[in-house]
Amino acid sequence: MTTTGRCLCGAVTYTADDIDTAVHSCHCSMCRTWSGGPAFAVGVGSVRFDGEDNITRFDSSAWAERGFCNRCGTNLFYRLKEADHYVLWMGTFDEQAAFKLAGEIYIDEKPEAYDLAGDHPRLTGAEFMASLQQSD
């Protein structure tokens, strides 16, 4: 699946390939602070940005960076540096009908103010990090 997306003002657009239609919501404090709520993230095989000069990249940890439009502030992506793997924010895709919530991570950091409906895996931060170790 190939699709397109953009920031709110349109200064940054993208074309993404090999999109995983499974959406994962992250409740970690960093994602919530950055997004103002839970992150709804979509993994992609590759992405090409137009308007790259309008993207500000922020090193949010030793292994990852986050990118946003420096004109309108739209949060665009989370990138694992070593693997050069991008995870795009679902709300930035032009078409979102194919996406389905598949799981939640850092559920132990989720505030009491909201709950996401549905029957899907809900992992604590420790469980999520352990699952990454198992997939290596």
Task: Tell whether the model's pLDDT for residue 1 goes beyond 90.
Answer: no
| pLDDT digit string, tens, across residues 52-64 | 999 999 999 998 9
Instruction: Give the per-residue SS3 of the chain.
Output: CCEEEECCCCCCEEEEECCCCEEEEECCHHHHHHHCCCEEEEECCEEEEECHHHEEEEECCCCEEEEEECCCCCEEEEEECCCCEEEEEHHHECCCCCCEEEEEECHHHCCCCCCCCCCCCEECHHHHHHHHHHCC
Supply the pTM of this predicted model: 0.90
CATH assignment at residue 57? 2.170.150.70
> With 70 as the cut, is the pLDDT of residue 135 above it?
no
Domain tally for the chain? 1
Span 103-127, pLDDT tens digits: 999 999 999 999 999 999 999 999 9
Domain encompassing residue 58: 3-134
Q: What is the pLDDT of residue 136?
A: 55
Give the per-residue pLDDT at 37.
94
Q: Please, which residues bridge with residue 85 across strands?
A: 80
